[in-house]
Amino acid sequence: MQIFDSIKKMQEWSLQARKQGKSIGLVPTMGYLHDGHLSLVQAARRNCDLVVVSIFVNPLQFGQGEDFEDYPRDLSRDTDLLADAGVDAVFAPAAREMYPAGFSSSVEVSGEITRKMCGISRPGHFKGVTTVCTKLFHACMPDKAFFGQKDAQQLLIIKKMVRELNFPLEIIRVPIVREHDGLALSSRNVYLDAGQRQEALALNKALSQAKEQIAGGERDIARLKDRISGIITASPQAEIDYIEIVNGEDLSELEAVDGIVLIAVAVKFGKTRLIDNLLVEV
Amino acid sequence: MQIFDSIKKMQEWSLQARKQGKSIGLVPTMGYLHDGHLSLVQAARRNCDLVVVSIFVNPLQFGQGEDFEDYPRDLSRDTDLLADAGVDAVFAPAAREMYPAGFSSSVEVSGEITRKMCGISRPGHFKGVTTVCTKLFHACMPDKAFFGQKDAQQLLIIKKMVRELNFPLEIIRVPIVREHDGLALSSRNVYLDAGQRQEALALNKALSQAKEQIAGGERDIARLKDRISGIITASPQAEIDYIEIVNGEDLSELEAVDGIVLIAVAVKFGKTRLIDNLLVEV
């Protein structure tokens, strides 16, 4: 497995691979890998000749007072895991390689899709995501890039960016991976203490119950949100950031549950903000 | 010569060419071609196996009250010229192909380089340019893209965007082409009446005299600007937008003429705004 910290060397490797007719699958990550990331790697291996995993904690997508400094990092453990998983190349640039002095370019998706949900509580976050993804796509030149459904809003924004700016690649959605008790995997789960860890199960429980209610015929969004809220606030430390039930393709508002619907929640437990979601088709 | 109006078909052609190991040179234009454009085509032919010329009058880079509607267009004359020039493919999409309903992505270079000169008189112009160039680069997948020195600020902004966002391509600068009497070629020259056409010669005259004065030892920027201004305002219809003498690589301010220096002017004759410039190395 090759490890690159230089954009130029990464790009040369990718150009060479493409000249040889090999397809490239990219899994962009911020490292501190868990089984969710590894399921993205497995999807990439099934779909492409070569797999590149990028590891970069992107300062641009963290706001002031967020956890950029504290975000967990363990590059040597990550590269061991990726070598075992059969990855061909790791792209792990330093921040100064990605954003040298004077850097002032940006890529942005505006409109409703970025203005709501995490766009409200994390201003500038998605602009940082689309800018770094543009750089990663150009550096690694994938045929396909794999993103987790866990970051549902991010996935839809990147799909819109790729479609509208005509990146010559395809975005592949990979399902959420959960612990046995239902907690969605996240690098930020390490921040939770035992009590918070237990309370955080409310997210998946609330989403699952909403799904059951919809299966049982419930179509009223306000009532569904109320029940989700009730389940989550039963956890004493839970502080709800948002509960949304929206169009699962463009995040637009719905009058009632209909079509492809995204139920998404963001909840803080102490300083730790967790997100989770569920797609249902009616 | 192939002519594409579909992004997908253009991209398939380019992917195919690259798989065959052919290098692609792209010449982005707004059409209504003149010898300046054809010199870009010739540079592309010398440098690359295949040449693609895009023809697209990009609504995003025109401000309110600018000449988007009136901008001269003649696609059949353009394609005849390009076929004669040995071009391999023309990419001429409609506006709705480039910007379908709901389009909300953008690429922007911020900072001093976009804030001054044409960035003042044409707010939003460069954001439109960088957004359309991103789409053209992804659709045509060039190894090299050719831009004229005539649009000096545009060229530097695109170079910065390509470098900072890691587009896997090289930007090639091609010198200004002038009429025999010195007027820089521009599709907008057709707007000039005979009197304005004659008065517009002041631009090249003023730039050339500044160059001579620098060759003669002048280093004072204020004095050079004054003389340029004096020559241009001797034309009764000339209305100066700006006269700038700045760093020729990043457009930063200079204390005196030193290094690679750009002397750039923008002047209106009636409704027609012309730009011209000169690079000097001291």
pLDDT tens digit sequence for B46-74 = 999 999 999 999 999 999 999 999 999 99
Average pLDDT of span A166-182: 98
Interchain proximity B167–A107, CB inside 8 Å: no
The rounded distance, in Å, linking the Cα atoms of B198 and B183 is: 9
Mean pLDDT confidence for B206-231? 98
Share above pLDDT 70 across residues of chain B, in percent, rounded to a whole number: 100
Single out the residue of A73, A74, A94 nearest to residue A6, CA to CA.
A94
Rounded mean pLDDT of chain A? Answer: 97
B144-148 and B105-109 strand pairing: unpaired
Residue length of chain B:
282
Distance CA A279, CA B105 (A): 25
Q: Which of B37, B125, B138, B180 is catalytic?
A: B37
CATH superfamily of B191-277: Pantoate-beta-alanine ligase, C-terminal domain (3.30.1300.10)
Q: For residue B270, is it left (φ>0), alpha (ψ between -120 and 50) or beta?
A: left
| Cα–Cα dist A233/A255, whole Å | 25
A37 is catalytic: yes
Task: Give the pLDDT score at B81.
Answer: 98
> What is the model's pLDDT at position B198?
97
pLDDT for A140: 98
Nearest neighbour of B167 by CB, restricted to A104, A106, A138: A138
Q: What is the DSSP letter of A253?
A: B
Q: Is B64 on the interface with A (CB under 8 A)?
A: no
Shortest Cα distance, chain A CAs vs residue B266, angstroms: 25
Instruction: Inspect the interface and report whether the beta carbons of A111 and B104 lie closer than 8 Å.
Output: yes
Minimal CA–CA distance to A4: which of A91, A99, A75?
A91
Q: How confident is the model at residue A141 (pLDDT cuts 50, 70, 90)?
A: very high
% of chain A with per-residue pLDDT over 70? 100
Find the radius of gyration of the CA atoms of chain A: 19
Q: Is the pTM of this model over 0.90?
A: yes
Q: Which chain A positions have a beta carbon within 8 Å of B135's beta carbon?
A: 165-166
pLDDT of residue A253: 97
User: Could you report the per-residue pLDDT of A201-212, keeping only the tens digit for each?
Assistant: 999 999 999 999
Q: Closest partner residue to B105 among A105, A135, A165, by Cβ?
A: A165
Question: Which residues of chain B are in CATH 3.30.1300.10 domains?
Answer: 191-277
**CATH superfamily of domain region B2-174:** HUPs (3.40.50.620)
pLDDT confidence band for A44 (50 / 70 / 90) = very high
Q: Is A96 on the interface with B (CB under 8 A)?
A: no
Instruction: Please report the residues numbered 111 through 130 in chain A whose beta carbons come closer than 8 angstroms to any beta carbon of chain B.
Output: 111, 113, 130
Chain B residues close to A106, C-beta within 8 Å:
107-108, 110
- pLDDT score, position B95: 97
For all residues of chain B together, what is the average pLDDT?
Answer: 97
DSSP strand pairing (B50-55 vs B24-29): parallel
* Interchain pair B113, A105: CB under 8 A: no
Q: Which residue has the tokens 């500038």?
A: A124
The CATH 3.40.50.620 domain(s) of chain B lie at 2-174
Q: Is B90 exposed, middle or buried (0-12, 13-18, 19+ CB in 10 A)?
A: buried
Q: Chain A: give the shortest CA distance to residue B106, in Å.
A: 5
Backbone angles phi, psi at B247, to 5 degrees: -55, 125
Digit-coded pLDDT (tens) for B91-113 = 999 999 999 999 999 999 999 99
Residues of each domain in chain A carrying CATH 3.30.1300.10: 193-281
Distance CA B280, CA B217 (A): 13
What is the predicted pLDDT for the residue at A31?
A: 97
When pLDDT is averaged across residues A57-70 and rounded to a whole number, the result is: 94
Are B106 and A111 inside 8 Å of each other by CB? no
Q: What is the pLDDT of residue A213?
A: 98
Beta bridge partners of B145: B26, B171
Is the domain defined by A193-281 classed in CATH 3.30.1300.10?
Answer: yes
CB contact under 8 A, A161 and B105: yes
Is the minimum CB–CB distance between A167 and chain B shorter than 8 Å?
yes
Give the closest of B103, B164, B168 to A105, CB-based. B164
